[in-house]
Amino acid sequence: MPSKTEEYLALAQRTANGLTRYWESWTDYLTTASRLYKYPFADQLMIYAQRPDATACADFDIWNNRMNRYVRRGAKGIALLDESSGFPRLHYVSLLDAPVPEQMKYASLAEAASHLVQVLNDPESITG
């Protein structure tokens, strides 16, 4: 039985192979990638494979500490493959639409996404 990492490696391979079969698949991928332009291609591919409608993704700590958004530990995230240590490992990111309390800091999805881009571009400028 394959491990989770092997399953996600296979998912990445299937998705990469399927992107160029039809122009609709390629344009759908580009739409997702355009919203997540700070991520490398491999991460964009994994996000597209699991949640093509994703608008903003970040690590658990970024959402909770820098963005003042509460993401419950254990909430379902998107698995990304991290091969920086020489072998593939899974690393998870959470979506903007992950569970948040009723008292939201941001009035709209666009405002929250804009703030996320600001934090990722210059984390020192955010006080919170």
Write out pLDDT tens, residues 20-38.
888 899 999 999 999 888 8
* Residue that wins the pLDDT comparison between 78 and 114: 78
pLDDT at 123: 58
Give the number of domains in the chain.
Answer: 1
Percentage of the chain with pLDDT > 90?
Answer: 23
pLDDT at 120: 75
In angstroms, rounded to a whole number, what is the distance separating the alpha carbons of residues 101 and 33? 28
pTM to 2 decimals?
0.69
Q: Is the dihedral of CA 98, 30, 59, 114 positive or negative?
A: negative
Label residue 106 by pLDDT band (50, 70, 90): low
pLDDT at 100 (0 to 100): 45
Rounded Cα distance between 80 and 103, Å, is: 30
Local confidence band at 101 (pLDDT 50, 70, 90 cut-offs): very low
Domain span at residue 20 reads 4-125
Query: Does pLDDT of 99 surpass 50?
Result: no
How big is the CA angle at 82 (ends 13 and 126), to the nearest 5 degrees? 125
Cβ-defined contacts of 19-28 (< 8 Å, 24+): 19/45, 28/52
